[in-house]
Amino acid sequence: MQKDDGAATTSAELRAHNLARLLRAIHEGGGQLTRAELTRRLSLARGTATVLVRDLAGRRLIEELTGPVDATAQRARGRPTGVPSAHAEGPVALAVDLRDDSYTVAAFELTGRGTVLDRAERDAGSGTEMLEEVAERLKIRCGQFDARVVGVGIAVPSPVRGGTMVQPTLPEWQDVDVTAALRPASACGPVLAGNDATLAGLAEARRGVLRGVPVALHLHVATGIGGVLLADGLPVTGAHGSAGEFGHMPLTGSDEPCRCGSTGCWELDAGARGLLRAAGQPEQGDRMLQAEQIIATAGTDRDSGRALALAARALGRGIGALVNAQDPEAVGLSGLAAEIFQADPGAVTAGYLSTLMRFRRDDPPALLPSTLGDLGALTGASELVFDAFLTPRGLAGWPAPGQKTA
Ligand SMILES: [Zn+2]
């Protein structure tokens, strides 16, 4: 008896493990891979795959659409293979992109398709009030999606330790625990917080220009510059989760004091702050908007053109230094970094090549502007949620008690 129980547990564990692997592969493939492709990719026996797919479908995690005719399967069996895709009533990750002056809430289904639900400006209200508003919006959205919501991911404009913003750009948020602030929305499941630039990089590695790149560096430029090194699609976030503050490295040779407490930081010369400084404009109001205006008028206004060239070169010089340090295969660029690169690729590239070590110059890692745009941080936040859900432990809670199975 004892021995049989042990064997049953092992086989149940194996099954749970395989279910999570298969669902993860469906998630990573964006619901585009056929059952035959998934079976090959995971080295499953065809019969095992059939049983697992049936199990996932029965639990309303996926539904199998009729896909293109798979040549191998057709030769063997003479029939088309199905495409396991997101179930219409399947799990949903809610994602929040929190910024100093606005927030966005979106819902992502299992295969990565996201829909923006709410977007609002802070206007005259405080940062605390805005977080309260986010919790309220989440509560409402959880009510709508009901037990389908498996968690909330939130991208914040600060390095994060645990769920706490340790050095936010908005002083009011200093040491605010985001997960505690969103407790009113606890019905949505676990709240997972991450730095916005880190999550933008995670999104590129999973769904964007860095997909399939074994070792990648991503840089996200807004008012400051953040980013992340990604190894096999996983962010390398340091001992406390706050690595990647590349903007606060003295990469461009100045020695002026920075708002962060250090001196000579890269973001003083590159990014929005660099653009404003180079254009001789004071930092006031919406710095991103000011920076974007400089980029937009660079072709017609001489001062703007000069400022763009200086900031673009500084951006490139810093990227070269980081490539020397990290040896990535490719460098993703999002936010203002993508805009600056697209507006003046020559200046960015010249700066980049000027700091690369000689042996790297023959085949420098490609600079790849993001294709996810504004959805980057949101997509990354949803990936945090699915990373937690797509495990044997996460799936054990699905469907939630009271949910019907098919
Ligand atoms: Zn700094």
Q: CA-based Rg of the chain, rounded to a whole angstrom?
A: 23
Ligand 1: centre distance to CA 397 (Å):
43
Instruction: Tell me: cis bond preceding 399? Omega within 30 of 0 counts.
Output: yes
Ligand 1: centre distance to CA 239 (Å):
20
Q: Sign of dihedral through CA atoms 133, 139, 145, 151? A: positive
pTM score: 0.91
pLDDT attached to residue 241: 87
Q: Sign of dihedral through CA atoms 319, 321, 322, 324? A: positive
CA distance 351 to 366: 14
Ligand 1: centre distance to CA 103 (Å):
25
Ligand 1: centre distance to CA 302 (Å):
29
**How many CA within 13 A on the CB side of residue 174?**
3
CA distance 185 to 182: 6
Ligand 1: centre distance to CA 242 (Å):
14
CA distance 46 to 53: 11
Tokens 């697992």 belong to 52
Ranges of the chain whose pLDDT falls below 70: 1-9, 67-80, 401-406
pLDDT attached to residue 399: 83
pLDDT attached to residue 309: 97
pLDDT attached to residue 220: 96
Ligand 1: centre distance to CA 379 (Å):
27
263-314 pLDDT, tens digit per residue, is: 999 999 998 989 999 999 988 778 888 999 999 999 999 999 999 999 999 9
359-377 per-residue burial string, b: 16 or more CB within 10 A, e: under 16: eeeeebbebbbbebeebbb
Ligand 1: centre distance to CA 291 (Å):
19
One-letter amino acid for residue 262 of the chain: S
Ligand 1: centre distance to CA 265 (Å):
5
Ligand 1: centre distance to CA 130 (Å):
26
pLDDT attached to residue 2: 43
Q: Are strands 330-335 and 215-221 parallel, antiparallel or unpaired?
A: parallel
Ligand 1: centre distance to CA 249 (Å):
7
